[in-house]
Amino acid sequence: MRKLIVLAAAAMTVLVAGCNTIQGMGRDMQAAGQAVSSSAQDAKH
């Protein structure tokens, strides 16, 4: 039973860390998209 609790806690830790990593990557991609959009607007004028 103890091994199951430890395994479940480890799995939750990995899942939470994975979500944070994906969320951070999403923010980076959004910032890159805004930079490209801004550059395109500058080039247009």
Q: What is the DSSP string of 1-45?
A: -HHHHHHHHHHHHHHHHHHHHHHHHHHHHHHHHHHHHHHHHHHH-
In the chain, the largest separation of any two C-alpha atoms, in whole Å, equals 67
Tokens of residue 35, six digits? 């930079």
pLDDT tens figures, 1-25: 888 888 888 888 877 777 777 777 7
Q: What is the pLDDT of residue 11?
A: 84
